[in-house]
Structure 1
């Protein structure tokens, strides 16, 4: 999803917890251009310093709200008002797209190609998740060195890590070593 990929643009060293290795990938023009292309978002990269500051402010706002939601809080009304402001900066046109292999579908076509439009799309993605999906499935990775945000789409809603093969295995090894050390 767009919103969680965006929040996760702040990369933490999930293996060692060395905070000096953390990277804000929004500061990397190449990463940002690839991310925009991956999500089919039209904007002129690189972002200007004031636009970059606004992007980081939105990310911080969403990260703080995710932390509240994970604790079981209801969506914050002032946040919803702020999201409305962000979304107002990104006008869209609704259009039916016909594909010969699929039934017609309604799509939203962004009308601008600037950073305001990008922040509107991110805000809309987050708003859709908060209003239409199960809030209890919004999670933060249990690896305290990772803290990636994800949406738990497993059937039994028991996913604890952003990636079972990476963070999940790392935490299993850490628990095993802690038990082994305690038994010595």
Structure 2
């Protein structure tokens, strides 16, 4: 992925970066999954800071992580506004298993630092995944949550932070995915015009 797709071009909140990177553990275009085994999930959580370096994960943690990741991807897809010509006609429905997965994460509300915050309880993979879930509320608080989107190019679905002034970005990269989508639309229109009647 090019640097523009990775960063979105300007300073981003730590919570938004964590959420974006977590959703991007599945590269749809290349069909690679960075958290597809317990060892790889543990390694990813330890490297990104949501869990201790000696985190242990099992297959149930991997399953929970995948539900959380794909639920967050769906939520970010819903951040494309109705005025966006490339956006789906109706916002996607969040998967039911996302709410169940969030309910299984060890989180607690605290007011200790003067502002409400969710904090993960315990360590391990579940604690690391709880840290990712808590990042959603942090991202909402700092204003970056509605700017977290998923590329509308269906062969991509890469998460990105929309840093445009009017929050109208549809693709992770105009140069790559935007160009693909526009080229396909142009060819479809041209075929329609030249089709025999």
TM-score by length of 1: 0.62
Distance 1:68 1:180, change over 3 A: closer
Distance 1:56 1:148, change over 3 A: same
Shift of 1:56: 1.7
Distance 1:182 1:68, change over 3 A: closer
In the alignment, which residue of structure 2 is the partner of 1:152?
162
Q: Deviations over 1:8-46 (max 9, x none)?
A: 222212xxxxxxx63333115458635742x23334467
SS of the equivalent of 2:105 reads: helix
**Which stretch shifts more, 4-13 or 174-183?**
174-183
Shift of 1:91: 9.8
1:115 and 2:115 are equivalent in the alignment? no
In the alignment, which residue of structure 2 is the partner of 1:52?
62
Contact preservation (8 Å) 1:69, 1:138: yes
Contact preservation (8 Å) 1:32, 1:46: yes
Give the one of 28, 40, 58 matched to 1:12: 28
1:22 and 2:31 are equivalent in the alignment? yes
SS of the equivalent of 1:26 reads: coil
TM-score by length of 2: 0.59
In the alignment, which residue of structure 1 is the partner of 2:50?
41
Contact preservation (8 Å) 2:50, 2:129: no
Contact preservation (8 Å) 1:161, 1:167: yes
> Unpaired runs of 5+ in structure 1?
14-20, 96-108
* Number of aligned residues: 163
Give the one of 169, 173, 178 matched to 2:179: 169
> Unpaired runs of 5+ in structure 2?
1-16, 81-89, 114-118
Distance 1:35 1:162, change over 3 A: farther
SS of the equivalent of 1:27 reads: coil
Contact preservation (8 Å) 2:20, 2:148: no
SS of the equivalent of 1:150 reads: strand
Shift of 1:172: 3.1
Equivalent positions of 1:85-104 (< 5 A) are 86=105, 88=107
Distance 1:127 1:81 in 2: 17
In the alignment, which residue of structure 1 is the partner of 2:13?
none
Distance 1:145 1:158, change over 3 A: same
